[in-house]
A and B are shown apart, each in its own frame.
Chain A
Amino acid sequence: MSLTETSAFEIAAEVRAGRLRAVDVLDAHLANVAARESEIHAFNTVTADEARRSAEAVDAAVAAGRDPGPLAGVPIALKDNMCTRGVPTTCSSKILDGWKPPYDATVVELVANAGAVVVGKTNLDEFAMGSSTENSAFGPTFNPHDVTRVAGGSSGGSAAAVAARFASISLGSDTGGSIRQPAALCGVVGVKPTYGTVSRRGLVAFASSLDQIGPFSHDVRDSALLLEVISGHDPLDSTSIPQPSLQLLTELDRGVKGLRIGRITDLPGGSEPEVDERLSEAFDALAAAGATIVDVELPSMKFGLTAYYLVAPAEASSNLARYDGVRYGMRVEASDTNAMYMATRAAGFGDEVKRRIMLGTYALSAGYYDAYYGKALKVRRLISDDFARAYEKADVLVTPTSPIVAFPVGSKVDDPLSMYLCDVFTIPTNLAGHPAMSVPFGTGAHGLPVGVQVLAPTLGEAVMFRVAAELERGAR
Chain B
Amino acid sequence: MLVGSFFVSDHPSVRISADAVAKVARLARLDVTPDDIARLTSQLDGMLEHFADIDALDLADVEPMTQPYPLVNVMRDDVVAPSLDRDEVLAAAPAAEDGRFRVPPIIGLEG
Chain A residues near B69 (CB-CB < 8 A): 194-196, 239, 241, 433, 458
Q: Does B88 contact A (CB under 8 A)?
A: yes
Chain A residues near B57 (CB-CB < 8 A): 303, 378-379, 382
Chain A residues near B103 (CB-CB < 8 A): 326, 337, 340
Q: Does A18 contact B (CB under 8 A)?
A: no
The winner among A404, A416, A458 for most chain B CB atoms within 10 A is A416
Q: Does B64 contact A (CB under 8 A)?
A: yes
Name the distance in Å between A293's Cβ and chain B's nearest Cβ. Answer: 25
Question: Per a CB cutoff under 8 Å, which of B3, B64, B76, B106 touches A418?
Answer: B3
How far does the alpha carbon of A309 sit from the alpha carbon of B51 in the complex, in Å?
A: 8
Q: Does A374 contact B (CB under 8 A)?
A: yes
Contact A327 B67 (CB under 8 A): no
Closest to A96 in B: B92
> Looking at the complex, which of A62-70, A141-149, A175-183, A352-360 is the stretch in contact with chain B?
A352-360
Interface size class of B (residues with CB under 8 A): 35 or more
Name the distance in Å between A266's Cβ and chain B's nearest Cβ. Answer: 14
Q: Does A447 contact B (CB under 8 A)?
A: no
Name the distance in Å between A107's Cβ and chain B's nearest Cβ. Answer: 18
Q: Does A46 contact B (CB under 8 A)?
A: no
Name the distance in Å between A345's Cβ and chain B's nearest Cβ. Answer: 5
Q: Does A9 contact B (CB under 8 A)?
A: no
Interface size class of A (residues with CB under 8 A): 35 or more
Chain B residues 1-43 with CB under 8 Å of chain A are 1-7, 16, 20-21, 24-25, 27-32, 40, 43
The winner among A325, A341, A362 for most chain B CB atoms within 10 A is A362
Q: Is the interface of B mostly helix, strand, loop or mixed?
A: loop
Chain B residues 40-98 with CB under 8 Å of chain A are 40, 43-44, 47-48, 50-51, 53-54, 57, 59, 62-69, 71, 73-74, 76, 84-85, 88-89, 91-95
Contact B104 A362 (CB under 8 A): no
Q: Does A254 contact B (CB under 8 A)?
A: no
Closest to A103 in B: B84
Contact A338 B109 (CB under 8 A): yes
Given A342-B31, A357-B30: A331 in contact with B94 (beta carbons within 8 A): yes
Closest to B110 in A: A338
Q: Does B99 contact A (CB under 8 A)?
A: no
Given A365-B27, A380-B65: A326 in contact with B92 (beta carbons within 8 A): no
Contact A382 B108 (CB under 8 A): no
How far does the alpha carbon of A89 sit from the alpha carbon of B91 in the complex, in Å?
A: 15
**What are 11 residue pairs bridging A and B, where the CB atoms are less than 8 Å apart in the complex?**
A99-B92, A195-B68, A303-B57, A327-B101, A328-B92, A336-B105, A358-B25, A372-B51, A382-B62, A434-B68, A458-B69
Contacts A336-B105, A354-B30, A378-B63 known; list 13 others, CB within 8 Å: A307-B54, A336-B109, A337-B104, A345-B28, A345-B29, A362-B16, A362-B20, A375-B54, A376-B54, A379-B54, A379-B59, A421-B1, A431-B65
* Closest 3 pairs between A and B when the two form their complex, measured CB to CB: A433-B68, A270-B1, A377-B64
